[in-house]
Amino acid sequence: MKNKIAIGIDIGGSHITSAAVDLGNLCILSGTTYSNKVNNKGSRESIFTDWCKAINKTIESASISGKVNIGFAMPGPFHYKTGLAMFEGNDKYENLYNVSIPEELPKYIKNVDSLELRFLNDATSFGVGVSAMGKAKNHSKIIAITLGTGFGSCFIKDGVPQVNSEDVPSGGCLWDKPYKKGIGDDYFSTRWCLRRYRELSNKDVQGVKEIAEINDENSKTVFKEFGANMADFMIPFLREYRPKIIVLGGNISNASKFFLPTIKDKIQEAGLDIGFEISELMEDAAIIGSAKLFKPQFWNQIKEELPNL
């Protein structure tokens, strides 16, 4: 049984969540989920200590002994093949810059004989998870999008991330693709929503949730523009890839009722028939997706296509 269990890790901007996953049915084992706050501006030692408070509890609660397999849903920039952190200029985990996670992290993990660590982009992990366990599992081609601090995305075909296929953009992601005066990440993230609301109202707010709760004319304008921009940005990629469904996750997706109707209308006007789902799995999807790195068939399908950054 222990060989059929892997630890899935979701590394957030200010927290970590860890859980044990049964690789047979891709379900999280009850009582093995632990979260811990992390100071993303802390030292290397403090970050690893905070991460391993959750990881060690999961290993203990799952009664895993001997070799432990751990998959990480990790934000970029990151060398996913080697496990080398390249966080620089993104205001989080910068003290891990040029640090090898496989070399350094095991020093903080207790009571195991050996470890194997594998890494997948956090948005890709989310996509792999929802394609395996969510409503999207009934569809061959999906796009998964995470909307929050940044703009995450991945293209999934038959459960496998598409990176070098002819019908997906370079790198299999959207955050860095040009849009208007910048790139996608500049327009489909929390910071755009906060900045746009401030431009309209001359007021500062703490997050997208607050904009949604205010629900005034300025809020409505922000969300309508957000939806119209996203549709405008996405349509060329949708025409090329032709997904059956788009799955949304991340904190901004909690306000989807304010912007999703605009996206749907614009996409329909473009002659595209695509379904939408707001994922109920949330971070569980990333945990399941990262643990799936230890299913041999899946690993063999993706290991050579993991991006370097």
- Position 307 pLDDT exceeds 80: no
Residues 246 and 292 in one domain: no
The separation between CA 220 and the C-alpha centre of its own chain, rounded to angstroms, equals 27
**pLDDT, tens digit (0-9, with 9 covering 90-100), for 231-254:** 999 999 999 999 999 999 988 999
Higher-pLDDT residue of 44, 89: 44
Mind giving me the DSSP string for 79-113?
Answer: ETTTTEE---SSSSSGGGTT-BHHHHGGGG--S-S
Which residues have C-beta within 8 Å of that of residue 99, sequence separation ≥ 6?
44, 84, 85
**pLDDT, tens digit (0-9, with 9 covering 90-100), for 150-189:** 899 999 999 999 988 999 999 899 999 999 999 999 999 9
Residue 128 domain flag? no
pTM of the model: 0.91
Number of domains in the chain: 2
Residue 126 domain flag? no
- Position 2 pLDDT exceeds 50: no
- Position 215 pLDDT exceeds 50: yes
Residue 6 domain flag? yes
Q: What are phi and psi of 110, to 5 degrees?
A: -100, 150
> Among residues 92, 164, 100, which one has the least CA distance to residue 122?
92
Residues 145 and 267 in one domain: yes
Q: What are phi and psi of 235, to 5 degrees?
A: -50, -45
- Position 194 pLDDT exceeds 60: yes
Residue 191 domain flag? yes
Residues 83 and 195 in one domain: no
Residues 238 and 289 in one domain: no
- Position 90 pLDDT exceeds 80: no
Residues 112 and 75 in one domain: yes
Mind giving me the DSSP string for 236-289?
Answer: HHHHHH--SEEEEESGGGGGHHHHHHHHHHHHHHTT---EEEE-S-THHHHHHH
Share of the chain above pLDDT 90, in %: 77
Residue with tokens 């997208």: 208
> Among residues 131, 147, 167, 140, which one has the least CA distance to residue 285?
131
Residues 139 and 275 in one domain: yes
What is the rounded distance in angstroms from the CA atom of residue 214 to the CA atom of residue 75?
31
Residues 143 and 242 in one domain: yes
Handedness of CA 179, 280, 222, 200 (dihedral sign): negative
Residue 127 domain flag? no
Q: Compute CA distances 242 → 49, 168, 231, whole Å.
A: 44, 10, 14
Please check whether residue 185 is in contact with residue 176, taking contact to mean a CB–CB distance below 8 angstroms. Answer: yes
Residues 80 and 147 in one domain: no
* Element holding 303 (H helix, E strand): none
Residues 211 and 248 in one domain: yes
Q: What are phi and psi of 226, to 5 degrees?
A: -60, -50
Quick one: pLDDT band at residue 212, thresholds 50, 70, 90?
A: very high
Mean of the per-residue pLDDT values of the chain: 92
Residues 139 and 220 in one domain: yes
CATH of the domain at 240: 3.30.420.40
Residue 258 domain flag? yes
Residue 39 domain flag? yes
- Position 1 pLDDT exceeds 70: no
Please list the helix, strand and coil fractions of the chain in percent, rounded to the nearest 5, in that order. Answer: 45, 25, 30
Residue with tokens 């304010």: 258
Q: Which residue segment(s) compose the domain that 64 sits in?
A: 2-121+284-305
Residues 57 and 168 in one domain: no
Residue with tokens 């939806």: 227
Residues 20 and 49 in one domain: yes
Please check whether residue 9 is in contact with residue 56, taking contact to mean a CB–CB distance below 8 angstroms. Answer: no
Share of the chain above pLDDT 70, in %: 97
Residue 71 domain flag? yes
- Position 121 pLDDT exceeds 70: yes
Helical axes 190-201 vs 217-241, angle rounded to 10°: 140
What is the rounded distance in angstroms from the CA atom of residue 33 to the CA atom of residue 122?
18
Q: Compute CA distances 237 → 169, 197, 219, 242, whole Å.
A: 7, 28, 28, 8
Instruction: Give the pLDDT score at 150.
Output: 86
